[in-house]
Every structure is written in C-alpha cells, then in structure tokens.
C-alpha cells in the first residue's frame, strides 16, 4: 500500500483542506488523521460505520500510596518539575509529572510507584473506507508514539487497498517525524510569506532524511506573488516536484465552515486543488518514487 502524507510548516496553511479534497477526489479507501494534538479531518469527512475505540497509554507517571506514605517530603523536595504537592497528604499532579522516577528512587518507604496513565484515545472507523485517527489527552506527551499507533491501526485494518492518504501534523516535531516513517510521497502545503518559505525549508530538510519523494504546492499564492515565485525557484533548486498553486478564495472559508471539502464547491480554489491532485497522484506510483523509498 502506497502512502501519501500531507504536511505543512505551521498550522492554518491549508493542509487539512487539501487532504480532505484529495480524499474526496480519489475516493480513498484508507485515510488517517495524524494531527493527534488537534485532529479535525473528521469534521469534513464525517466518518460513518463501525467505530472501534482503544485507550492509548503513554509513559508511566508517579503515584503515591497515601496509606504507606510517611510524609517525609523527600519526593516533593527532589521533584524538579514541581509535580508533587501537599494538602492533607502528598499527591502527584499528572499534568506536571514527566515520569522521571526520581521520587520513586528517593522514597524511603517505597510508597511511590510508576503507573500507566491513559494519554489519549485511538479511533478507527470501518465502512466502505477505513479512517484512523486519535486524540491526545490535554497536557499529555508522547504524541509521536500515538501517531505511530494511528498508522499501525490503519495498516492492520485495511485490506487490498492501493494507497492511503494521511493528514499529518504541522511543524517538524515528534508527530511529524513519526508520520514520515514508511511514507512514499510527501506533499507539503506552504504559503507565500517569509515564514512560509522558512518553514518549507525546515520541513524539506526533515523529510529528506527519510529519503522520500517530496512535492510542494502553494496555498493563497496570489496574496504575495513575488514570494510565491521565490518558493518555485527554491523547489527547482532543490529538485522538488512543484505541483501547483491555489489562489486565495473566500469560498474556502464558507466550505470549511459548512463542513464540506472545497472540491464539493464550484470555486477557483477547488479547481486548482483538482489540478494539483492530478499532478500529485501519479508521482505516488511513478518509477522515480521507487528510487526514493
């Protein structure tokens, strides 16, 4: 199964808008939302069918046995994250605890143990298409591990599917790195601004380490035509596949606010995305792609 991952250097660039359009145009039988910190692909795709939910456990966190605790305070004194507090007994603030185990080591009566905590939930929807997504619990870490679980559940569930479309996280952090593993083609959605160009350069350098083929498109390209041209020149210099430009279009906001994909509307942005789709999907199965994976 070939995998197309759609990324952006920052939030709000149009990554999910493009991803949902691609899913509609391709009638994809397998897709996932790996932006586990703020998943929103489901708002447009409205997944139907049987839902399977499973808890996700991140790193263990400290737990104090109140009955066994002698209230010596060593745990609180030695916690560099200020995660242990005292009211009428010592307790651990799960949001602050980083699971470093120092408190467990310094406790003289072994009243502290490391306990698995639910850090999020993984959801898989199975109907005519398979949709895998997850939501990380507020304040929890390990988002990269949760992204890996989302991809794993997608691969375990699909059968006889040629390709999958994955909506990734913005930026270049752990979730993005986890998303890039095993990907055949990355489509980066950028915008014509100095920060957009800088973010593009960072994410390209990150993706290149995974030896995957990279394609680029520009959203709201007519807002700053000169910077859009700079981005095209950069793509030529780096030998990246430039697959098209999307104009600024108020119709996009109306479509998204009504829970629709932009290709469901008759608008310039929708037509541009269709052209980008027609240039991008062949790259996923091209012989050139085989040399990158």
Question: Same structural domain for residues 257 and 139?
Answer: yes
Give the residue numbers spanning the domain of 72.
61-115
For position 258, what pLDDT does the model report? 86
Q: What is the average pLDDT value for the chain, to the nearest integer?
A: 91
> Which of 98-136 are b and which e, b meaning 16 or more Cβ less than 10 Å from the residue's Cβ?
ebbebbbeebeeebbebeebebbbbbbbbeebbbbbbbb
Higher per-residue confidence, 229 vs 128: 229
Percent of the chain beyond pLDDT 70?
A: 98
In this structure, is residue 121 part of a structural domain? no
In this structure, is residue 120 part of a structural domain? no
Question: Same structural domain for residues 66 and 207?
Answer: no
Question: Same structural domain for residues 92 and 168?
Answer: no
In this structure, is residue 178 part of a structural domain? yes
Residue 260 has pLDDT above 90, yes or no: no
Question: Same structural domain for residues 208 and 259?
Answer: yes
**Total number of domains in the chain:** 2
The predicted model gives 167-183 an average pLDDT of 91
Q: What is the CA radius of gyration of the chain?
A: 22
Confidence of residue 128 (pLDDT cuts 50, 70, 90): confident
For position 105, what pLDDT does the model report? 97
For position 285, what pLDDT does the model report? 84
Task: Please tell me the distance from the alpha carbon of residue 166 to that of residue 147, in angstroms, as a whole number.
Answer: 11
For position 288, what pLDDT does the model report? 52
Residue 140 has pLDDT above 80, yes or no: no
The predicted model gives 254-269 an average pLDDT of 89
Question: Same structural domain for residues 185 and 83?
Answer: no
């Amino acid at each position: 199964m070939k995998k197309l991952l759609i990324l952006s250097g920052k939030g709000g660039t149009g990554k999910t808008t493009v991803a949902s359009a691609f899913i509609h145009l391709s009638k994809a039988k397998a897709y996932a939302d790996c932006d586990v910190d703020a998943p929103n692909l489901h708002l447009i795709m409205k997944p139907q069918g049987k839902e399977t939910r499973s808890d996700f456990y991140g790193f263990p966190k400290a737990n104090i046995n109140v009955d066994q605790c002698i209230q010596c305070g060593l745990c609180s004194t030695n916690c560099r994250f200020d995660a242990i507090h005292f009211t009428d007994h010592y307790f651990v603030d799960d949001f602050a605890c980083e699971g470093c185990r120092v408190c467990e080591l310094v406790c003289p009566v072994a009243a502290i143990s490391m306990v698995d905590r639910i850090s999020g939930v993984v959801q898989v929807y199975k109907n005519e298409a398979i949709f895998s997504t997850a939501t990380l619990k507020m304040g929890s870490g390990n988002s990269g591990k949760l992204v890996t679980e989302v991809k794993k559940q997608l691969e375990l569930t699909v059968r006889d599917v040629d390709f999958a479309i994955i909506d990734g996280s913005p930026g270049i952090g752990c979730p993005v790195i986890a998303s890039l593993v095993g990907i055949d083609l990355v489509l980066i959605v950028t915008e014509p601004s100095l920060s957009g160009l800088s973010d593009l350069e960072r994410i390209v350098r990150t993706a290149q380490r995974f030896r995957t083929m990279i394609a680029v498109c520009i959203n709201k390209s007519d807002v700053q035509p000169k910077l859009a041209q700079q981005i095209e020149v950069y793509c030529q210099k780096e030998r990246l596949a430039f697959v098209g430009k999307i104009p600024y279009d108020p119709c996009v906001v109306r479509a998204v606010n009504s829970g629709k994909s932009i290709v469901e509307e008759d608008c310039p942005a929708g037509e541009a995305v269709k052209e980008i789709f027609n240039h991008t999907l062949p790259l996923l199965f091209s012989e050139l792609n085989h040399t990158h994976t």
